[in-house]
Chain A
Amino acid sequence: MNGKALPYLLLMPATLFLCVFFLYPFALVAFEAVTRDGAFTLDNFRTMAGSWKFPVTVSNTLLLAAIVVPIQLAMALLMASVVSRLETGRSVALYIFAIPLGISDLAAGLIWLAIFDQSGFLNTLLSTLGIVDRPIMFLGYQDKLTIFVAVALAEIWRATAIMMVILVAGMGLIPKEYCEAAEVFGAGPWKRFIRITLPLLRPSLQTAIILRVILAFEVFAVVAALGGTNLPVLMGETYNWQFTLQDRNVAAASALLILAISIGFTLFFLRVLRVPKEARI
């Protein structure tokens, strides 16, 4: 077999697949969003933005991301630091921290439903401790705030693992000598973390934040399990347009909006956290 052609032959199935099932549907969704019955129009976006739910949907999604992602970043950094310092039980801790990585967002929603439900474990704990007389309704249609808190907790619980794994991998690449040198010169653990680990971790931080922010805009099943339709988010509304309202052009417009927000934030973090080529380890 010709040696020059071999790599292209090997790449061909994956490339063809991605063209048909990634690039083509992407073009299709963009096309459907700006047309209706074959004619170019921006009506789909107008219909989407005109819905009374739209402002609250956008603000819920963005607010959720804005609250969840920084907390996750801090927790992932804490987990990664703990893992990289543990001597015994390191692999056990790593496995346990990574467990939520394999758990579906729907399952995560159901897990936290077991806690926040009216007959759930949080109410049991509160009444055993004598804090409340009878179970509180946390997830009723009027309890927007507690639904929001429950969704945020479930998201933090579920998706911190992704950031943690990326950061652990990144910390493993930082040469130990840097921290040892700083210790010799009298830098405490906190100072070493701020002045050495964090700056050298920037490429991994960038990847972790971008991945996580994109996933945050995709939040869907957790909200469906905990809040039903009481806490509308972008992905849930897209689903609604497709199914309940049977209007796939508006659904496509809504999908395009999520894509646009995701790409916008990706570019933003690529720029803000960019790593000069010569500064890479």
Chain B
Amino acid sequence: MSVAAEAPVAVAADARRAGDWLLVATAVLLCVWVLLPIYLLIVNALSSPDQVTAFPKRFFPSFDVGSLSFFINFAGVARALWNSVLVATLTMILSIGFGAPAGYALSRFDFPGKGTFRFLVLMTRAFPLPLLALPLAVMFIRTGLDDTAIGLALVHTTLALPFAVLITFSLFSGIPVELEEAAWTLGCTRWQAFRKVILPLALPGVAASAVFAFTISWNEVFAAAVLTIENRTLTAFLLQSLGESPLYLKFAGGAALVVPALIFIFAVRKYLFAMWGIANR
């Protein structure tokens, strides 16, 4: 009797164990799918130029810095790197500077026009924004912003601003308004309450959203290639030299793009959902 009763339980437990194994195997397989290509690029970047063009390839890096030093010393690369950092930093400052106040306003006030603003922000997501660099190229020539870091940063800010607004909105919404009200009753002005109570709580999230803005600009190719000629960013430089540059330059350049991105995503991993998840709510 007891044996008969235990049998289905044992079968169910077996099925569950098999399911667990399947789950873990799938997870590992998917991780390999994501990581392996990056690993192979890194292998190339850490091999000497001869090894990169040789066949067959080794699946392990020789830790030769030949490719990387060739890349760094290649005419224009150092400047392109500097431009990328400059444009991304400006984008970061602009998008947080414009976006964070808007996010705060959306989370704390009810006012006519709120829906319209939200719609404007969400609408930017339905457009291939880099295309807007085409008409702006002409406008920038007229205003002297062409081929400058700030001009490109302005275009990258249209890409990053919606994210800055949405993530700061969800951040400030997560901080109870009662904290602010308590500060007011204790004699703080609105600004003091914000600076002394809300800002310290929101700062890590704001920093994450700033890092994300930096990443968006760091990675953008099309607008960068359209708007810069002399002051090319790293992506624009790599895109425009695709035709003539040797393989090891491409791979070292690719690694220079990827490695910072890995660190950025690691830094903002907790906030990824705030950035992408609330669009439909």
Q: Using a CB–CB distance below 8 Å, which chain A residues touch chain B?
A: 1, 4, 6-8, 10-11, 13-15, 17-18, 21-22, 25-26, 28-29, 32, 75, 78-79, 82, 85-86, 89, 91, 93-107, 110-115, 117-121, 123-124, 127-128, 135, 157, 162, 165-166, 168-170, 172, 189, 203-204, 206-207, 210-211, 214, 217-218, 220-221, 224-225, 228, 235, 238-239, 242-243, 248, 251-252, 255, 258-259, 262-263, 266
Contact = CB atoms under 8 A, between A and B. Distances in A.
Contacts of A18: 120-121, 124, 158, 161
B74 interface: no
B124 to A, nearest CB: 6
Contacts of A259: 127-128, 131
Interface stretch (B173-181, B196-204, B219-227): B219-227
A217 B128 contact: yes
Interface stretch (B2-10, B27-35, B75-83): B27-35
A13 B165 CA distance: 12
A255 B129 CA distance: 10
Contacts, number: 277
Contact of B40 (A21, A32, A121, A266): A121
Given A97-B30, A103-B261, A107-B219, A258 B128 contact: yes
B107 to A, nearest CB: 10
Nearest to A157: B37
A-B pairs, top 9 by smallest CB distance, nearest first, are A169-B277, A110-B254, A104-B219, A102-B265, A28-B135, A10-B105, A7-B109, A14-B102, A102-B261
B120 A15 contact: yes
Chain B facing A: main interface SS: helix
Interface in B116-153: 117, 120-121, 124-132, 134-139
Contacts of A93: 27, 30-31
B72 interface: no
Contacts of B219: 102-107
Interface of B: 19, 23-24, 26-27, 30-31, 33-35, 37-38, 40-41, 43-44, 52-57, 59, 94, 97-99, 101-102, 104-106, 108-109, 111, 113-114, 117, 120-121, 124-132, 134-139, 154-155, 157-158, 161, 165, 190, 215, 218-222, 225-226, 235, 238-239, 242-243, 247, 250-251, 253-254, 257-258, 261-262, 264-266, 269, 272-273, 276-281
Contacts of B278: 169
B161 A25 contact: no
A104 B257 contact: yes
A22 B125 CA distance: 11
Given A17-B161, A110-B251, A211-B125, A204 B280 contact: yes
A113 B247 CA distance: 9
Chain A facing B: main interface SS: helix
A99 B215 CA distance: 12
B98 A99 contact: no
Given A25-B136, A102-B262, A104-B218, A165 B34 contact: no
A98 B126 contact: no
A30 to B, nearest CB: 9
Contact of A96 (B34, B52, B102, B104): B34
Contacts of B59: 121, 124
B132 A97 contact: no
Nearest to A207: B280
A176 B250 CA distance: 48
A79 B242 CA distance: 33
A85 B19 CA distance: 11
B55 A166 contact: no
A242 B226 contact: yes
Contact of A10 (B31, B56, B102): B102
A29 B250 contact: no
A210 B56 contact: no
Contacts of B273: 165, 168-169, 172
